[in-house]
Amino acid sequence: MFPTSLPNPDDNTADQIALDAPPAIDAVPKVETTPGGGLAVLQAAVATLPPKPGVYRMINAKGDVLYVGKAKHLKKRVVSYTRVDRMPIRLQRMVYETHHLEIVVTHTEAEALLLESNLIKQLKPRYNILLRDDKSFPYIVIPGGHDFPRVLKHRGARAKGNEYFGPFASTQAVNRTLTTLQKVFLLRSCTDAVYANRTRPCLLYQIKRCTAPCVGKINTTDYADLVRQAREFLHGDSRAIQDELAKNMDAAAAELNYETAARYRDRIRALTVVQSHQDINVSGMTETDVIGMQRANGQSCIQVFFFRGGQNYGNRAYFPAHAAEDTDGEIMEAFVGQFYANFPPPKEVILSIKIPNHALVSEALALRANRNVDLATPQRGDRKKIVEHAVINAREALLRRQAENSAQRALLDGTAEVFKLPAPPERIEVYDNSHISGTNMVGGMIVAGPSGLMKNAYRKFNIKTPDLAAGDDYGAMREVLTRRFARAQTEDPERTQGQWPDLVLLDGGEGQLNAGLQVLADLGIDDVNIASISKGPDRNAGREHFHMPGQAPFMLPPNHPVLYFLQRLRDEAHRFAITTHRAKRSKAIGQSTLDDVAGIGAARKKALIRHFGSARDVANAGITDLQTVEGISAAMAKKIYDHFHPEG
C-alpha cells in the first residue's frame, strides 16, 4: 500500500491475494551488466513492459531481490527509474545494482498493492520500507461442535466452525480477558480430554470460576446461555449483560434465593471492574485499530491500539526500517500495507498521518477484508483525541528505544575496548552446550547487536557426531562451530548478508577456546575474533576469567559495566541451551520403541500398550498374544514380532 511516485520505493499492503486468474510472471530478458549497467537493464525492459497494473521486482546479480514495487501502469513506472539524475543517491545505488527485472501482471492496482505487500514481507528487500516485527497476534476462540464449548487462547490458522475474537496486542491482554470470562460467565477452560475424564469438580468450580459441566452441575441450555452472554460481551455488549445479570439478581433475591443472588452479584462486580479499567474513551469503537506515528533522529515508532467491542485489547509498538528521505506518509502507508498482510483489517482504521494513496489503500484493505473498511485521519473530536493518545505512546516508546540503543552502544564500545577489537561489534554470537550425562546433547547460539538480543537469529544444534563420547563438551563445541561457519561460508561467502559475527564468545575456558580456534583454522577462517568466558574460583559470578588467543586469562573489575553485559549474554546462552535440551529430553520421554515399528500408528500403539501394559511387554510378547489385540492382524503381529526378534 504505497506511493506510486518515483522516489518512493516503498509499497506494502495486505495478505495473500487470490486473483481471479493466475498472475502472469514475466522475466524481462537479462542484460549482462558492468558497473552502472542496471540502467541499461531497465531501459531494455521498458520496451517489453505492458501498460497494465502489476508488481515489479528489481533483482541483483546474486538473485537477491533489491526492491518490490507496484504500479498502476508498469511501463510508466519503470520508465521513471531510468531518469537517475532525478533520484536520490539511495535509489541511484539500487538502479546500479539491478541485474534483471521480473513483473507480475494483476487485474487492478489494488490487487497489485496487496501482492506487493505479500512479497515485501516474504522477501524483505533492502530498499523497501520494512516492518521488521512479524509476530502473530493472539486471539480468543470459542470452538464449535461441543455441547459445552470452552474458551481458550489461540494463535495460528483458523478452523471452520470456531468463533475468533481479537486480535489482542499481547498474551497478557488475552489472559486478562480470559480471567474476566471465567469470573463473569464461568465457562470451562479445560481440554476436551480432561473434560471427558473428570469424575468430580475441579478447583475452578470451588472458587466460582467454572460451572462444572464435566460432572453435570449445569445443563446444556443454561450453559448455552452463558456462552451467548460471553459472545455478547466480546462483541461489546457488556452494559446489556450487566442489566440482565442485575435483573436476575433482583429476581433471585425476591424469591429469597440469596445464594443465587450472591453469585449474580459477584459476576456483576467482576464485569464492573472490567468496565472501570478502560483508560480512554472508546465509545462507539466496536472494531477499530488506531495507528499513531512519531519520528525523531532518523527513527520512527508506530503504535497500534486495538479496540474491539468497546474495549481496549492492548497496544503494540513497531519500529519500521526506512531511509532518511522517506516521508511520514510513505512510512505510514508502507506500514499499513504490511501490517494487514497477516490478518484481515477491522471495520475502521484510524491513522494519525494522511497517506499519499488513501483511496487505493482503502480499496486494497476492503479487498483484503472482503467488506468495506473505513480508513480515516480525524481532525477533531473524540477520535482525534484517541489518535493523539496513540502518538504520545509512540513518542514515549521511541524515546525509550533510543535511550536503550544509546546504552547498548556504550556497552558495545566497551566490549571492543576489552577484547581489543578494531571497531564496536555489530553482531556478537555466544555459544553454550547442554546435556545430562551426555544424553540429549544440544548446542545453542544466541546473538546480540546494537538493538539488544536478536532472538530471530538464535539457533539450536542437535549434536549428531556418531562417535562422540558422552559428555564431550569440546567435541560438541567443535561440531556446533563447524556447522555454523561452514554454512556461513556457503550461504554468505562475501559476508554481505550480516551472517558473520564480529565477536564469538564461548561459554567455557581454555578447552572451549582451543576447540573454537581449531575449527576456524580447519575452515581457513582467520579474521573472526573469538574468546571464551569461564567462571572464576568457586564458580562465583563476578570473578569470571576471559580467555583470548595468545594471552593470559584476565578478569574485569567486579563493577565493570562490560562484565555485567557479558554475564547477561552468557546467562542468556545458558538459558537458551538448557531450554532446548529440556524440550528435546521431554520429547524423548514421550517416545516409545513401538514408534520404530513400521505400520504402528497412534491407535495401534495405544491398543498394544493398553493390552500389555508397556512397550517392553509388547517386545516380549509372542505372535499369538499379539494377534489377540484389537486392530492387530496376523501379518501385523508377525511384523511386530520380527522387529523385536530379528535373529529369529
- Secondary structure (H, E, C), 25-94: EEECCCCCCCCCCHHHHHHHHHCCCCCCCEEEEEECCCCCEEEEEEECCHHHHHHHCCCHHHCCHHHHHH
Neighbours of 204 (CB within 10 A): 16
Percent of the chain with pLDDT over 90: 34
Whether the pLDDT of residue 588 is over 70: the answer is no
Q: Which of 131, 2, 127 is nearest to 65 (CA)?
A: 127
Helix or strand run (H / E) with residue 224: helix 220-234
Whether the pLDDT of residue 107 is over 80: the answer is yes
Grid cell at residue 556: 574485569
Q: Which range is least confidently modeled, 232-241, 319-328, 348-357, 399-408?
A: 232-241
Cβ pair 475, 461 in contact under 8 A: no
Cα–Cα dist 176/181, whole Å: 9
Per-residue pLDDT of 446-468, as tens digits, reads 999 998 899 889 999 988 887 77
> Exposed (0-12), middle (13-18) or buried (19+): which is 494, by Cβ within 10 Å?
exposed
φ/ψ of 101, rounded to 5, equals -125, 140
Q: What is the mean pLDDT of residues 250-277?
A: 73
Q: Is 6 helix (H, G, I), strand (E, B) or coil?
A: coil
Helix or strand run (H / E) with residue 162: none
CA-to-CA dists, residue 321 to 44, 131, 290, 326, 536, angstroms? 31, 7, 21, 10, 42
Domain limits, the chain: 24-123, 139-276, 287-398, 428-588, 593-644
Cα–Cα dist 158/344, whole Å: 12
**Residue 192, Cα to own-chain centre: how many angstroms?**
27
The chain-wide mean pLDDT, for the chain, equals 83
Cβ pair 417, 566 in contact under 8 A: no
Q: How confident is the model at residue 40 (pLDDT cuts 50, 70, 90)?
A: confident
Q: Is the pTM of this model over 0.85?
A: no
- Own/partner long-range contacts of 258-262 (Cβ < 8 Å, ≥24 apart): none
Q: How confident is the model at residue 514 (pLDDT cuts 50, 70, 90)?
A: very high
Q: Do domains 428-588 and 593-644 have the same CATH topology?
A: no
Whether the pLDDT of residue 34 is over 80: the answer is no
Q: Which residues are CB-contacts of 220 (< 8 A; sequence separation ≥ 6)? A: 147, 148
Q: What is the mean pLDDT of residues 328-332?
A: 94
Cα–Cα dist 162/231, whole Å: 12
pLDDT at 86: 84
Which of the pair, 637 or 470, is modelled with greater confidence? 637
Cα–Cα dist 506/529, whole Å: 11
Q: Which residues, in sequence order, are bridge partners of residue 305?
A: 290, 315
Q: How confident is the model at residue 591 (pLDDT cuts 50, 70, 90)?
A: low
Cβ pair 397, 300 in contact under 8 A: no
pLDDT at 270: 65
pLDDT at 522: 94
Whether the pLDDT of residue 18 is over 50: the answer is no
Percent of the chain with pLDDT over 70: 88
Whether the pLDDT of residue 211 is over 80: the answer is yes
CA-to-CA dists, residue 146 to 192, 288, 552, 579, angstroms? 9, 31, 68, 36
Q: Please confirm whether the linkage preceding 537 is cis (ω < 30° from 0).
A: no
CA-to-CA dists, residue 581 to 483, 488, 533, angstroms? 18, 24, 21
Cα–Cα dist 311/286, whole Å: 8
Which of the pair, 291 or 615, is modelled with greater confidence? 291
pLDDT at 13: 34
Cα–Cα dist 485/516, whole Å: 11
pLDDT at 2: 37
Residue range 287-398 in CATH 3.40.50.40: no
Q: How confident is the model at residue 372 (pLDDT cuts 50, 70, 90)?
A: very high
Per-residue pLDDT of 41-58, as tens digits, reads 888 888 888 899 999 999
Q: How confident is the model at residue 292 (pLDDT cuts 50, 70, 90)?
A: very high
Cα–Cα dist 168/312, whole Å: 9
Cβ pair 134, 144 in contact under 8 A: no
**CATH classification number, 428-588, choose in 3.30.450.20, 3.30.420.40, 3.40.50.720, 3.30.420.340:** 3.30.420.340
Q: How confident is the model at residue 347 (pLDDT cuts 50, 70, 90)?
A: very high
DSSP 321-369: B--TT--HHHHHHHHHHHHTTSS---SEEEESS--TTHHHHHHHHHHHH
Question: How long a stretch of residues is the chain?
Answer: 648
Q: How confident is the model at residue 33 (pLDDT cuts 50, 70, 90)?
A: very low
Cα–Cα dist 367/492, whole Å: 39
Q: What's the count of helices (H) and strands (E) in the chain, helices before strands?
A: 20, 19
Per-residue pLDDT of 156-207, as tens digits, reads 888 888 888 888 888 888 888 888 788 888 889 888 888 888 889 999 998 8
Q: Which range is least confidently modeled, 133-142, 230-239, 397-406?
A: 230-239
Whether the pLDDT of residue 259 is over 70: the answer is yes
Residue range 24-123 in CATH 3.40.1440.10: yes
Helix or strand run (H / E) with residue 453: strand 452-453
Widest distance between CA atoms in the chain:
92
Measured at the CA of 508, the angle between CA 506 and CA 511, to 5 degrees, comes to: 100
Q: Which of 517, 524, 519, 582 is nearest to 547 (CA)?
A: 517
Q: What is the mean pLDDT of residues 392-411?
A: 90
Q: Which range is least confidently modeled, 58-67, 87-96, 257-266, 410-419?
A: 257-266
The CATH number that domain 593-644 falls under is 1.10.150.20
Whether the pLDDT of residue 411 is over 60: the answer is yes
Q: Which residues are CB-contacts of 136 (< 8 A; sequence separation ≥ 6)? A: 155, 156, 342
Q: Which of 166, 154, 183, 178 is nearest to 241 (CA)?
A: 183
pLDDT at 28: 46
Whether the pLDDT of residue 344 is over 80: the answer is yes
Give me the residue label for grid cell 520505493.
9
Cα–Cα dist 137/131, whole Å: 15
Cα–Cα dist 175/169, whole Å: 11
pLDDT at 608: 84
What proportions of the chain, in percent to the nearest 5, are helix, strand and coil? 45, 15, 40
